[in-house]
Amino acid sequence: MRKFKESLDKIFNIVLYFCMTLVIAMVVIVFTNVVLRYGFHSGIKWGEEIPLVIVIWFTFIAMALGVKENLHISITLLPKNLPDSVERFLRIFKYTCEIIIGCILFYYGLGLAKNGLRSFLPATHITNAINYIVLPINAIFIILYAAIYLYGAIKTKDLKKSEVEFYD
């Protein structure tokens, strides 16, 4: 399982670097468009459309990063005051819910991407599926990372050592 997580981390890091590159491109496009619009009274025709696509992609990849790093908001006061068996159950429940949400994102994301193939963005004439194909990609990472942590939560008996540390 450790090798699988390391491989998944490598693939996810490639996606993260791609998104970082997209964010840099977005900043350049928006800056250039603002300078052209206010300095030369013209602009890039697609200068608002492409940054919007980039924001969509970056938002969903950041959501998968939140699952990977266990950064999502959670209530810790109640589980810390409950018996270890209940806290363990709540962790297992949390990761199970993340897997279910990932499956929903995958299923409906594929449907949205499929429907998006029929329409095109007005300025660039790129298929609208580009806005939605990130949903199944995001869902795959969410499902896989949540499954890894679910396995760790089931396998580890020591709650002092979290299941995230179990694989690090």
Q: What is the mean pLDDT of residues 146-152?
A: 92
pLDDT in the model for residue 95:
92
pLDDT in the model for residue 105:
96
Helix (H, G, I), strand (E, B) or coil at 163: helix
pLDDT in the model for residue 166:
52
pLDDT in the model for residue 153:
87
pLDDT in the model for residue 84:
80
pLDDT in the model for residue 55:
94
pLDDT in the model for residue 1:
79
Q: What is the mean pLDDT of residues 145-153?
A: 91
Domain ranges of the chain: 2-167
Pairwise CA distance, residues 165 & 14, whole Å:
22
pLDDT in the model for residue 159:
58
- Cβ of 81: how many Cβ atoms within 10 Å? 9
Q: What is the pLDDT of residues 60-118, one digit of tens each?
A: 999 999 898 888 766 666 767 778 888 888 889 989 999 999 999 999 999 999 999 99
Q: Which residue has the higher pLDDT, 107 or 47?
A: 107
Helix (H, G, I), strand (E, B) or coil at 2: helix
pLDDT at 14 > cutoff 60: yes
CB 100 within 8 A of CB 148: no
Q: Which residue has the higher pLDDT, 157 or 65?
A: 65
CB 132 within 8 A of CB 113: yes
Q: What is the mean pLDDT of residues 122-145?
A: 94
pLDDT at 128 > cutoff 90: yes
